């Protein structure tokens, strides 16, 4: 007789349930714990809504002013400083690029040292992990403000801010990829008598390299956007002009600058897509999809 779900009447279900009660229902303690966790989650969410007064009425009231500002942004106007904008935009992209490249390199040793499977020494791991937490725990803008004080206004402060915070971020992302690396290839190299550095170089790096590159490209895209903010606090680039135009209520010029930034971000997205396909794609070929 073939299996058939219709064979399972109340009596036979009860008999199987008696043999395997946990397959039908988790123990009371587990269910209570889960329910308590969900309850706490909903209470916290409701409390946040209440305490910040996120009511539809307030959003509605604010939207009127927002529409007013939006209408002042049209038509976008270039003003008389297009060449300055262009240079500043270039500066912003260059800051993002240089900062990301340096951070991507510095994060490699830090990421390796943070990974449990590379450095199985708890004390050292604690030290390196807290270092990377600290670097990225303080926001890029705060680092920029600090470096503007230290090295003066201009792109150098912005580049340093990107390097510091993204070394932390990338080290974290790298170390997670490294910890998820397959052990088989590692054992393969160790089994050949490879020393620890050779094992990392050939057992781990080739399999995590695509993930690392993908992270770096994403961070670069993201930095092109966020480097604008760094300009606003005085760390060079297009953000300086944008903040200035907003402050002086030149909304039409501000919207022109925003459009320039958008185009730059699109172009960089597109370029990084090409790079990604070139360096990482190929092996990602799948057959048949999900159907």
Partner 1 sequence: MLEIRNLGKRFGEATALKSVSLDIPAGQMVGVIGRSGAGKSTLLRMINRLAEPSHGDIIWRGEAVSALRGKPLLAWRARCAMIFQQFNLVPRLDVLTNVMLGRAAYKGTLPSLLKVFSPAERAMAIHALERLDCAQLALQRAETLSGGQQQRVAIARALVQAPEMMLADEPIASLDPRSAILVMDALRRINREDGITVLCNLHTLDTARQYCDRIVGIAAGEVIFDGVPAALDDAMVRRIYGVADNDPRFDESATSTTAFENIPSLVPIAA
Applying CB under 8 A, which residues contact partner 1? 1-5, 8, 12-13, 16-17, 19-20, 22-24, 287-288
CA distance 25 to 9: 18
Least distance (Å) between residue 22 CB and partner 1: 6
Q: Which two tokens stand for residue 114?
A: 């943070």
**Site of tokens 């960089």:** 268
Least distance (Å) between residue 174 CB and partner 1: 23
- Cβ nearer to partner 1, comparing 77 with 185: 185
CB 163 within 8 A of CB 149: no
Least distance (Å) between residue 2 CB and partner 1: 5
- Helix (H) or strand (E) holding 162, with range, is helix 155-179
- Cβ nearer to partner 1, comparing 71 with 287: 287
- Cβ nearer to partner 1, comparing 10 with 123: 10
- 67-91 CB burial, b ≥16 within 10 A, e <16: eeeeeebeebeebeeeeebeebbeb
Least distance (Å) between residue 250 CB and partner 1: 51
CA distance 48 to 123: 37
CB 178 within 8 A of CB 117: yes
Least distance (Å) between residue 291 CB and partner 1: 8
- Cβ nearer to partner 1, comparing 22 with 283: 22
Taking the mean position of all CA atoms in its chain, how far away is CA 248?
Answer: 33
- Cβ nearer to partner 1, comparing 63 with 180: 180
């Amino acid at each position: 007789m073939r299996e058939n779900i219709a064979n399972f009447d109340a009596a036979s279900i009860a008999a199987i349930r008696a043999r395997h009660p946990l397959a039908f229902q988790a123990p009371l303690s587990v269910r209570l714990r889960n329910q308590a966790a969900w309850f706490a989650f909903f209470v916290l969410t409701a409390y946040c809504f209440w305490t910040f007064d996120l009511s539809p009425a307030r959003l509605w009231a604010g939207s009127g002013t927002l529409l007013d500002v939006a209408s002042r942004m049209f038509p976008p106007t270039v003003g008389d400083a297009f060449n300055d904008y262009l240079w500043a935009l270039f500066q912003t992209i260059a800051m993002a690029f240089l900062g990301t490249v340096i951070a991507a390199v510095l994060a490699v040793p830090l990421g390796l040292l943070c990974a449990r499977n590379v450095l199985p020494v708890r004390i050292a791991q604690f030290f390196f992990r807290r270092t990377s937490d600290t670097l990225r725990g303080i926001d890029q803008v705060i680092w920029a403000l600090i470096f503007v004080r230290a090295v003066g206004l201009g792109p150098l402060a912005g580049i340093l801010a990107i390097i510091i915070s993204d070394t932390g971020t990338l080290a974290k992302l790298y170390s997670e990829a490294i910890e998820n690396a397959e052990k088989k290839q590692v054992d393969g190299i160790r089994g050949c008598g490879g020393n620890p550095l050779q094992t990392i170089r050939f057992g781990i790096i080739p399999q995590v390299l695509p993930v690392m590159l993908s992270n770096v490209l994403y961070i670069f895209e993201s930095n092109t956007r966020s480097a604008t903010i760094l300009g606003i606090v005085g760390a060079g680039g297009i953000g300086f002009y944008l903040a200035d135009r907003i402050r002086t209520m030149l909304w039409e010029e501000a919207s022109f600058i925003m459009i320039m930034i958008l185009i730059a971000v699109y172009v960089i997205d597109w370029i990084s897509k090409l790079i990604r396909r070139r360096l990482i794609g190929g092996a990602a070929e799948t057959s048949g999809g999900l159907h």
